[in-house]
Structure 1
Amino acid sequence: MEFSQLKKEQLGEWQAYVDQHPDATPYHHVGWGQAITSAYKHTSYYFAAKQDGQIVGILPVVAIKPPLKSTQYCSLPFCDVGGPLANDNKTAQQLIDFAAESLCAEQPELFSLRLAGKPVPEEELSAQAKVRMLLTLPGDAETLMASFKSKLRSQIRKAEKNGLTCQLGRNDTLLNDFYQVFVANMRDLGSPVHGFSLFEQLEKCYGDSILMSVVYSENKPVGGGIVLMTKDRASIPWASTIQEYNRLAPNMMLYWSLLARIADSGRKEFDFGRSTPNEGTYKFKAQWGATPHALEWFAYKQLQEDKLSTSSSARLLAEKTWRHMPLGVTKAIGPMLRRYINL
């Protein structure tokens, strides 16, 4: 077994391995690290295990160096899951050990992993700080719609009755309209926004493996989402709506448009992303039939779960202040801060 860091000209081998691995997520796509490096200038590492010249395991890592702080190494930042893909558990662990030794042997606590865990039984939900919500898809949109309860089907139709329209695809207009909604929503949530350059690079790096959907009210974008895909899976890392239009149910049209397209594509699973059990976003995702799966986030060799649910008084004050800042200001300075926040 040989372990190494792949060079740029070897990344085609990486992507070929991702494309055939049954546990691959859209974040293991070579484009995730490439987009982060291009947009934020963080260093991306592509570790691989080879046997007889063939890749048998991979591990993506991104290095983030905040001002005046030590470099943090994460697999993977800005998303819910990363970690190794390998032919077996032993190779996966060896990859993790090799990466930690290569990057931060003297401070292994600076290396963190975000792994996909198992389904969480209902009786254990209260012990989970965060979960990701996964929906198994039936093979086509018609069958998926028929599986929904009548109340959900009515809510989906409500958006159309309210005059909302939707466009799906991949082009500059949709990307700009998505970002217009995204910036406003992040300000209202009290959170610094990702820079537009990150989404430009994702669109470039993912190619046909990215899908955008934008909901309009009288030609004004009021909802938007981006989906990243593998052969069998789709994940939605970002979805937003404009609060003043939520009474028209743009979120229902947004999610249904994406679910329908993904189901008709033959993909088997839709990842709704991270939620706190029994809170609003969790219940919204659960109504579609999504079920909770554990998120195993820990520091290398410490097995200390990331305190995802911890909110200090300072953080709450910052969020409150951010919500009241002018939109143009948050759009300008948000990306300068967000590039160092790996959540």
Structure 2
Amino acid sequence: MSASFSQVSAPGRSVFPFESPAPVEILARGALLAHGRVVQRLNPIRDERWNDKLAAVAPDAFFPGKGWALVLAQTYGYAPEYFAEQTGGRLEALLPVMEVDSWLTGRRGISLPFTDYCDPLAADAAAFRQLFDAAVAHGRSRRWKYLELRGGQPFLAAAPPAQQYYGHELSLAGEEPELFAALKSATRRAVRKAQHEGVTVEFRSDVRGIRQFYALHCRTRRKHGLPPQPLRFFLQVQERILDHGDGIVVLARAGARYIAGAVFFQKGATALYKFGASDERTLRLRGNDLVIWEGIRHYAARGCRKLYMGRTSPANEGLLRFKRGWGAREYPIPYYRYDLRKNAFVPGHDETVGWHNRVFGALPLSLSRLLGALLYRHVA
């Protein structure tokens, strides 16, 4: 996602497996000395020029930006700990981390919470290693259970992943007829059916639009046996991202009824499909297909070259089929969890799948919303 950072290890250099992280010296003002280089702990929320600094070296990097940091910090109280090497105020390497401090699930560092993927920004394996060692050293001082990286496969190919997901990348290069022809035939039929049924689409970035999406989000989460994210999370998304022109809500209507919606983010020439939702009672109208297609048209017209369609669990076969229907390139997204007590990468499991799905799927929406508001901060 970066025009200036190379996110591939140097040939012949393997980062892991490796000996325990190198000793790190803690310097003044939160800086750390790792491998003879100074690594700073930065808070993007307090830096008025953060997005400019990031854009100068990684113009398409959305999740390390200030807007997403504000959403996570303001909604859940997470503390930004962005480990960076700078030269003259210019970012040279970056590992964005949020500290999650929960009485229920423990204290740990995550790069980054509620983020589909977040590759470290580093020119080579050595640059990544100094960021990693600095983060581990800080985590020990804060008594983290572990450091979780949601990306970084080029640097961590030899490490066992804690979890594995799929990502989907869709090229937006070409004219609209070419983009439509690249869809699988079933997806093209679904889009045409929605249009034939008279389903209309709205592009919104206001509070009313995000509230309409949230109502659909609640229904969709219950269908999948999960509580919804709290409303305040989506209101922060609207205030910190959509209201700044970095995203949109696409809503589908059948008459006066909203039947499907999607939330997209954008940074540089890259668009991100972050959230999707629909009313299960009107799935036959295929509004969920139409909002994705209209999002594709919208961002292709704005000059975006790629659309990332988020992560998908291997266990979610229905969502995998849906995303494959858009003709996107499928690739693995491994997550890594480094246990600071064992000094080792450890396995994990997909916590979205389990016995709790039956419980949440049976709850009334009001109770499910309440539990979501209480629990998500601890899940991250």
Give the secondary-structure state (helix, strand or coil) at the position aligned to 2:151: strand
1:114: Cα distance to partner?
0.7
1:132: Cα distance to partner?
0.9
Of the three residues 291, 302, 327, the one matched with 1:289 is 327
Letter in 2 for 1:189: H
1:239: Cα distance to partner?
0.4
1:310: Cα distance to partner?
8.4
Q: 1:263 to 1:12 in 2, by over 3 A?
A: same
1:25: Cα distance to partner?
3.5
Distance 2:81 2:256 in 1: 42
Of the three residues 28, 41, 44, the one matched with 2:77 is 41
1:30: Cα distance to partner?
1.7
Determine if the alignment matches structure 1 residue 161 to structure 2 residue 203.
no
Decide whether the 8 Å contact of 2:53 with 2:90 is kept in 1: no
Determine if the alignment matches structure 1 residue 259 to structure 2 residue 296.
yes
More deviation, 82-91/3-12: 3-12
Distance 1:150 1:68 in 2: 47
Give the secondary-structure state (helix, strand or coil) at the position aligned to 1:71: strand
5+ residue gaps, structure 1, are 119-127
Give the secondary-structure state (helix, strand or coil) at the position aligned to 1:65: strand
Distance 2:45 2:249 in 1: 29
Counterpart residue number, 2:108 = 72
Q: Deviations over 1:284-336 (max 9, x none)?
A: 1111111212212111353335423884xxx32x2112111111121222221
Decide whether the 8 Å contact of 1:60 with 1:83 is kept in 2: no
Distance 1:93 1:173 in 2: 45
1:129: Cα distance to partner?
4.0
- Give structure 1 regions of 4+ aligned residues with deviation exceeding 4 angstroms: 7-10, 105-109
Aligned CA RMSD, in angstroms, stands at 2.4
5+ residue gaps, structure 2, are 1-36, 155-162
Determine if the alignment matches structure 1 residue 215 to structure 2 residue 257.
no
* Equivalences, count: 329
Of the three residues 122, 133, 140, the one matched with 1:104 is 140
Determine if the alignment matches structure 1 residue 137 to structure 2 residue 137.
no
Counterpart residue number, 2:376 = 338
Decide whether the 8 Å contact of 1:185 with 1:240 is kept in 2: yes
Higher helix share: 1
Decide whether the 8 Å contact of 1:140 with 1:266 is kept in 2: no
Distance 1:152 1:9 in 2: 41
Determine if the alignment matches structure 1 residue 201 to structure 2 residue 236.
yes
Decide whether the 8 Å contact of 1:2 with 1:49 is kept in 2: yes
Determine if the alignment matches structure 1 residue 269 to structure 2 residue 306.
yes
Letter in 1 for 2:277: S
Give the secondary-structure state (helix, strand or coil) at the position aligned to 2:268: coil
Counterpart residue number, 1:191 = 226
Letter in 1 for 2:279: I
Decide whether the 8 Å contact of 1:104 with 1:111 is kept in 2: no
Of the three residues 324, 328, 331, the one matched with 2:366 is 328
Distance 1:160 1:84 in 2: 41
Q: Where do 1:6-85 residues align within 5 Å?
A: 6-7=42-43, 11-22=47-58, 24-85=60-121
Letter in 1 for 2:358: K
1:15: Cα distance to partner?
1.7
1:338: Cα distance to partner?
1.8
Letter in 2 for 1:237: K
Distance 1:63 1:248 in 2: 43
1:109: Cα distance to partner?
5.0
1:251: Cα distance to partner?
1.1
TM-score, structure 2 normalization: 0.79
Give the number of the structure with larger relative contact order, counting CA–CA contacts within 8 Å between residues 6 or more apart.
1
Distance 1:25 1:218 in 2: 38
Determine if the alignment matches structure 1 residue 244 to structure 2 residue 286.
no
Of the three residues 308, 314, 320, the one matched with 2:350 is 308
Of the three residues 108, 119, 127, the one matched with 1:91 is 127
Percent identical pairs in the alignment equals: 23
Letter in 2 for 1:292: E
1:273: Cα distance to partner?
1.4
Q: 1:284 to 1:29 in 2, by over 3 A?
A: same
Decide whether the 8 Å contact of 1:116 with 1:294 is kept in 2: no
Give the secondary-structure state (helix, strand or coil) at the position aligned to 2:47: helix
Q: 1:291 to 1:305 in 2, by over 3 A?
A: farther
1:102: Cα distance to partner?
1.4
Decide whether the 8 Å contact of 1:3 with 1:49 is kept in 2: yes
1:117: Cα distance to partner?
4.5
Q: Deviations over 1:53-112 (max 9, x none)?
A: 422122211122222442121001112212421333322221122122113358565111
Larger radius of gyration: 2
